[in-house]
Amino acid sequence: MILEQVRQVYPQLTKSQKLLADYITSHYREAAFMTASQLARSLDLNEATVIRFAQRLGYSGYPDMIEHVRDLVHEELLPPTAEDTEAQDPLHRLLATELDSVQRFVSHLSSSLTQQVVDLITRAERVYIVGQGIAFPLAQLLSYSLRYMGIPASSPQPDPFGLAMAVDEIGSDSLLIGISGWGEGEEVANALQLANAKGAATVALSCSAISPCALVANLALTCPLSDELPLRSITGLVILMDALIQTLAAQDPQSLAAHRNAVEQAQENIIGSKRR
């Protein structure tokens, strides 16, 4: 597969060739329909560099390489047959099951409910995100992503004392998001109830519509678990979180870019200070 070939030779590529490799791996669907000259122009390179890149990957030339890129796109677009499914190794069968589970929950996800959650995050003066067990690193990930966009967010420690301190700080202009993964969440649900009592908005991101968190939150976005997997999966929760993040980022791309540039500049200053 061409993506594996790129991975193997990437460390030895020139700067221009790495630029091509980055584009091919990230945008191979678009590249599949480009001529060598079009691809070169899109990256401000010369056509000879594109041809040498194809040869560096082991192809006879650009047409040979792009044919393999088109084969990759073609494979993605073809629906699997029953024979294909039976012939798949366990990893691919489980991935197909995960994808099917995600497609089912996406089809049942309410657009209006999702928008309400996005609006709550946007309007909140402070966003607190809590989760226990497997949900704790997910809460940290969501908090980190929101802060990167300039949204004031934090993920307190999930032990009772950490949750208590968070609830103590919460005001009526705050939002508390509780994430519930594999059934844990009683203490998080209690924190959601206490936040409700203080007039704060609450949201649950849960694998079940009847989890303790989902039952007490003002709004709940749920992605049911698949019964066909040997272990409970958090794929749906991760995809749901990422979709929320991408939706928030798309609302004000200029503000996002400005905040990101400010963070990156501060990072450069910190690194520079360490070197001096």
Same domain, 248 and 111: yes
The ranges of the chain with pLDDT < 70 are 78-88, 183-185, 225-228, 273-276
Residues 150 and 241 in one domain: yes
Burial of 176 (0-12, 13-18, 19+ CB in 10 A): buried
Centre a 10 Å sphere on the Cβ of residue 103 and count the other Cβ atoms it contains.
Answer: 9
Pair 166, 128: CB distance under 8 Å: yes
| Residues 71 and 7 both lie in one domain | yes
In a domain, 272, yes or no: no
Instruction: Tell me: do 198 and 123 sit in the same domain.
Output: yes
Residue 47 falls within a domain, yes or no? Answer: yes
CA distance 171 to 174: 5
The domain tally of the chain equals 2
How much is the pLDDT for 81?
A: 57
Residue 98 CB neighbours (<10 A): 17
Say yes or no: 66 and 172 in one domain.
no
C-alpha span between 58 and 5 (Å, rounded): 8
CATH of the domain at 138: 3.40.50.10490
Same domain for 181 and 238, yes or no, is: yes
- Compute the radius of gyration of the chain from its Cα atoms: 23
Q: Does residue 115 sit in the same domain as residue 242?
A: yes
Q: What is the pLDDT of residue 87?
A: 56
Same domain flag for 247 and 155: yes
For residue 222, the enclosing domain spans 104-259
Q: Judging by beta carbons within 10 Å of its beta carbon (0-12, 13-18, 19+), is residue 70 exposed, middle or buried?
A: middle
Residue 59 has which token pair?
């192809």
Residue 185 lies in a domain: yes
- Predicted local distance difference test score (pLDDT) of residue 155: 95
